[in-house]
Structure 1
């Protein structure tokens, strides 16, 4: 299977969820083997340089996955767009923005899927690299845990645990196997969510300033406040899977294996990825000269132009 990039540049304007700032986002084609790179075009000098995305740069995970470099470059809330890149198998791309945060759009990855569809995706004449899990890697933090296990495909299982009437009405566990299920159909429309009391607390700390009922599910003491209701009956856990896929794709390569988590979040997802990379015996890099050799989960990547 070959590497992928965009057929052409494309841009969109939105609002940062936490900063409330207006953001112009540009996505650009990139050469083979250059990976996923980001640039703050509102910064000058060394801070305006291109940043090569790696798991080690996710250094703020309080409310999102945020890149923080040693010299203070910040690019926040990258998980939703990274999840869309994973869905399309994007290997090489330059992401430019004029603010410290990727725009939230509607709180899901679907608007970014539409951007990729509009730009078009093309193959490049270099083989795509996959990371294959060879041994189980587990990370436990208090009452949370996540793990990778060997699996000839890509499968994600997540469980959330909220004691609240809204969550008690829906499944809090969801499993998706991409050999037979579609990311776009099953995951991409799931929106981020938060509790009203948390929103008020965040705003008192100048966070969540761009959040509203158009880009998040907001929950009060008894029910959701969004008049249109949920997009999926179990939208909450599906969004956590959307986040996890984006968190894992900061690796810049598809993973052949199974990921499972209980009460997982950005911090523990990133910590598991770093732990995996520190155990060379637990994984290997592989390529597939012929698509017929690919695990079936990757036969269903959206078609390129």
Structure 2
């Protein structure tokens, strides 16, 4: 009888992007490109393309709960990425399940406003995220706009990012990564801070392109994938940032739609998979 093996799986709990560049679609592409088996629980369905979001439909909280529970009970992912959560009811539905799986690392990308300025969640949901979901997370990854909301302050400098990270971590998350891609300048800086006060600044070079749709989703999904593959959080962030940088470069001149196009998630998928899975045990039985 031949031996069987188990895929290294990751769960994304997020919204669907009909344009294919962000949300569930970007997450699943990222997991696949890094050699992981992607599973999903859909929280919302957006009417969206490269020009922006024009409408959004909420999935009932009990259905979200059921999707998450079904995956966790059967496929048993090694990490979870959470994107947009539409309502306080959805937050509580997710929390009820995750409390039974405290050993699984959770990466939360607190999506609040689309890049086109469409407000995706209300204030009550933001409060629920901070009070109920943040304490269950291993890492929260807000961009500048989201960090300003969560920290209740304006962010214009790296020092502001550090101050915001210090405020946000008081919500109870184990670590935070404030993404600085929305600050102007040739270099991009992300600020990492964990609950023990360990701080790290990640630097990358800005790529001149309109094709950045789904960058935040891809980064958090890649962090979750690298954590599932066995890397500690700082290294997972570093490797995820490298993956995103290469995906942006590979897709910078590709035209997809009339607005902000997606990244090229599969720029070197086979080589990346071979490299990442080389030393990873596949649970042979």
TM-score (norm 1): 0.26
Relative contact order, higher structure (CA 8 A, sep 6+): 1
Q: Select the structure that is richer in helix.
A: 2
Larger strand proportion of the pair = 1
Name the larger-Rg structure. Answer: 1
